[in-house]
Structure 1
């Protein structure tokens, strides 16, 4: 049922440009809400920000978002902007499964070391 629901609040670079941010300001979810660029309500209030690549930025800004479209990331890096990818929430895992995952990770680490020694 949740396949069609959005996973992010999307914002294009051209919309950020039109919002009137000053040189060196931080672009994240809260400043975008304050500027009136996005108005998430209901389920969208808890969604993270995703920067899309449509448009260009003329002032240097620091962008913080959970995800960047590849085109947006390339445009920001080419122009010398700084961007930070925010970490996501960790998925809850049953304790028994977490224990097995830890064992498997340890096993493969040992196996990798053995292969490099021989």
Structure 2
């Protein structure tokens, strides 16, 4: 049932350029809603933002989004924009599984620390 539903609100670079952001402005889901690029009601209001690479950007902006396409990332980095990838929603995990995952992470962290300590003593 969920296969046809979008996972992100897609916004192209040409739309951001046309919105008239000034040098150093922050581009986020909220600012795009305020500028009218994203419908503040409906399904889009709860979806995360994804920046797509269609178009060019001529000003340096601070962009905060959940995801960036590879072409958009390349174009934004070449334009000198700062990119912030927002964290996703954490997936629910059964408490017993979470406890086992935490134990495994602790175990492997100790193993990595012991291996790193052994490497430093061999190098000295």
- TM-score under structure 2 normalisation? 0.85
In structure 2, runs of 5+ residues without a counterpart are 120-124
- The reply on whether 1:21 has 2:21 as its aligned counterpart is yes
Gaps of 5+ in 1: none
What SS does the corresponding residue of 1:3 show, helix, strand or coil?
coil
Using the alignment, how far apart are the partners of 1:9 and 1:75 within structure 2? 19
Aligned partners of 1:36, 1:98: CA distance in 2, in Å?
41
Map Cα deviations across residues 38-74 of structure 1 (whole Å, 9 max, x no partner).
1153332210100001111112211111111111111
Q: How many angstroms apart in 2 are the aligned matches of 1:28 and 1:20? A: 14
Equivalent pairs counted in the alignment come to 118
Counterpart of 2:36 in structure 1 is: 36
**Alignment match, 2:48:** 48
Contact 2:28–2:65 (CA<8 Å) still a contact in 1?
A: yes
Q: Which has the larger radius of gyration?
A: 2
1:54-101 Cα deviation digits (max 9, x unpaired): 111112211111111111111111111111111112112111111010
What is the CA RMSD across the aligned residues, in angstroms? Answer: 1.7
Q: Hey, what does 1:82 align to over in structure 2? A: 82
Tell me the distance in 1 between the aligned counterparts of 2:20 and 2:56: 13
